[in-house]
């Protein structure tokens, strides 16, 4: 059976259309106010600046507002924490995104976890992850949430399947705790592994390899392949 390419961009357009209708209704019921997404960019990394700009453009397309916070490269952990505290305390801000990566002198994990779990729309806080693990309400982590949304959209069943997650970073490689409920099992491979757990692959008749790279709104393109025991995805491994 040939591989299936899942068109995340087309799905994004559909989601944005649905969100536009929802935000219009919210605006009507709140005297013209709309949800505000705050983005924090620390430093001058060109790729990060592009991602933040894309998020701002997405907000405009669906009819919500964005608040862009830009901090200098020399920003300290304390200075960044102070900015996050301000946003946490601002009742007009409904979501906070801290753009990864931050400069090396900043304690990124400490700053992620400073974000109020009620505004952690990117699913990066340890508290939010723990709440998901316990089955409590929380925003899903962007990458696994995007993967599952695409699979559901294309009607690809995951029950009884074994998922291979390529990458181990906290941003892309960490699993949504609910994956253990959706899939029969899963394995993780990364840059220190030459093959995708060859022994496991040989024992699976229908094993999906999921390769994801998130560019915007947690959704772009996911490639799903049927793997055999000879499969080697080392060139597709994410850092």
Say which of 55, 119, 174, 204 is annotated catalytic. 55
92 is catalytic: no
Nearest CA to 11 among 215, 220, 225? 220
Taking the C-alpha atoms of residue 182 and residue 158, their distance in angstroms, rounded to an integer, is: 6
Asked if 194 and 232 touch (Cβ cutoff 8 Å), the reply is: yes
55 is catalytic: yes
Q: Token pair for residue 56? A: 């701002």
99 is catalytic: yes
What is the pairing mode between strands 4-7 and 221-226?
Answer: antiparallel
Beta-strand runs (E) in the chain: 4-7, 36-42, 65-71, 95-98, 162-166, 185-189, 207-213, 221-226
User: What's the distance, Cα to Cα, between the start and end of the chain in Å?
Assistant: 29
Say which of 7, 9, 14, 99 is annotated catalytic. 99
Say which of 119, 122, 176, 204 is annotated catalytic. 122
Catalogue the active-site residues: 55, 99, 122
């Amino acid at each position: 059976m040939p591989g299936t390419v899942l068109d995340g961009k087309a799905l994004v357009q559909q989601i944005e259309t649905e969100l536009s209708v929802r935000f219009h209704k919210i605006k009507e019921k709140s005297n013209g106010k709309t949800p505000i997404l705050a983005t924090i960019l620390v430093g001058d990394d060109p790729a990060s600046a592009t991602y933040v700009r894309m998020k701002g453009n997405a907000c405009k397309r669906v009819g919500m507002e964005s608040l862009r916070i830009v901090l200098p490269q020399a920003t300290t952990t304390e200075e960044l924490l102070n900015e996050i505290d301000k946003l946490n305390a601002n009742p007009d801000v409904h979501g906070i995104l801290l753009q990864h990566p931050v400069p090396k002198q900043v304690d990124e994990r400490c700053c992620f976890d400073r974000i109020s779990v009620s505004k952690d729309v990117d699913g990066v806080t340890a508290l939010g992850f723990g709440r998901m693990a316990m089955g409590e309400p929380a925003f899903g982590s962007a990458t696994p949430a995007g993967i599952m949304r695409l699979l559901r959209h294309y009607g690809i069943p995951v029950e009884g399947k074994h998922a291979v997650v390529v990458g181990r970073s906290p941003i892309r490689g960490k699993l949504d705790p609910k994956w253990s409920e959706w899939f029969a099992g899963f394995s993780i491979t990364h840059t220190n592994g030459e093959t995708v757990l060859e022994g496991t692959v040989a024992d699976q008749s229908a094993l999906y390899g999921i390769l994801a790279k998130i560019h915007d709104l947690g959704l772009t393109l996911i490639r799903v392949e049927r793997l055999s025991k000879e499969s080697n995805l080392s060139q597709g491994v994410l850092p």
